[in-house]
Amino acid sequence: MIKLPMNRDEFDVFLNRCLKLQMELVQFTETINPAMHERFEVAFQSGVLAFEHYLAIFELIKSDLIAPGFSLFRPQYESLVRGIWLLHAASDNWIGKLNQTLNEESAKIGDKAPNLSEMLTQLKNESSAPQHIVEQLYEYKDATWKALNSYTHGGMHPLTRIKSGYPYQLMYNSLRNSNAVAALTGQLLAITTGDLQNMTPIRKLHVNYPDCFPIIQTDGSISK
């Protein structure tokens, strides 16, 4: 385990490991497609959106654009939650509404979709939803939500970091959390294919890259 405080060399080693993990996830997503069912298709789309945010986070941080990278943690997480909600808890009516061609009318309908808290509540109350995953989603939100909102909306956290900078330990903890969200996204994408054998490559990631994944930071590490 890396000792505190982390230095630049240790962070660069960690970042390179994350990029190898990311490459395996990219290769995985390029080989799969959703099953021919509307619910699976729209959940898959939300998972792809979460994964695109994940890729962008690392591209920005590699370019030393830390605050813009951190600002994408929230939409990465929200897109994952929406994908899981679409798969397990959304009504058929909402599946149809959110799978329409984008226009002024459909956009207004989409704006009325359940918000994050409502989706999490519906997932918690849905017996067919994987409750161990739902619990992890709640834990991540409880630990990081204030900081995520601050970075997304240009609040106190990014303003003060412009002056004080970003400790490597902060980036390390935050990127591990992002990797965990990405792995859950991989599970979602695998499930939407309808072939549970596609879960195998995702499970192997936790074995091959244990240094890239957290026990989710219950102390709100992103805010440090």
Answer for the pair 65, 57: CB distance below 8 angstroms, yes or no: no
Average pLDDT (60-74) is 96
Domain positions in the chain: 30-98+114-219
Res. 6 pLDDT band, cuts 50 70 90: confident
d(CA 131, CA 40): 19
Virtual CA dihedral for 190, 196, 202, 204, nearest 10 degrees? -170
Give the residue with greater pLDDT, 219 vs 216. 216
Tell me: pLDDT of 83 over 70. yes
pLDDT at 1 over 60: no
Summarize the confidence of residues 185-197 as an average pLDDT: 96
Q: Give 131-180 pLDDT, tens digit per residue.
A: 999 999 999 999 999 999 999 999 999 999 999 999 999 999 999 999 99
Task: Check if the beta carbon of residue 177 is closer than 8 Å to that of residue 144.
Answer: yes
Residue 39 to residues 83, 87, 91, 138, 194, Cα–Cα distance (Å)? 10, 6, 10, 23, 11
* Residue 47 neighbours by CB under 8 Å, 6+ apart: 79, 80, 83, 185, 188, 189, 192
> From CA 31, how far away is CA 165, in angstroms rounded?
39
81 falls in which pLDDT band (50, 70, 90)? Answer: very high
Residue 214: its pLDDT value, please?
A: 85
Do 194 and 185 touch, CB atoms closer than 8 A?
no
Residue by residue, DSSP assigns 97-123 as HTTSPPSHHHHHHHHTS--HHHHHHHH
Q: Are 10 and 170 in contact (CB under 8 A)?
A: no
pLDDT tens profile 198-216: 999 999 999 999 999 985 4
Average pLDDT over the chain, rounded to an integer? 92
What average pLDDT does range 98-103 have in this prediction? 92
Whether 221 shows a pLDDT value over 90: the answer reads no
The closest alpha carbon to 184, from 118, 134, 218, belongs to 134
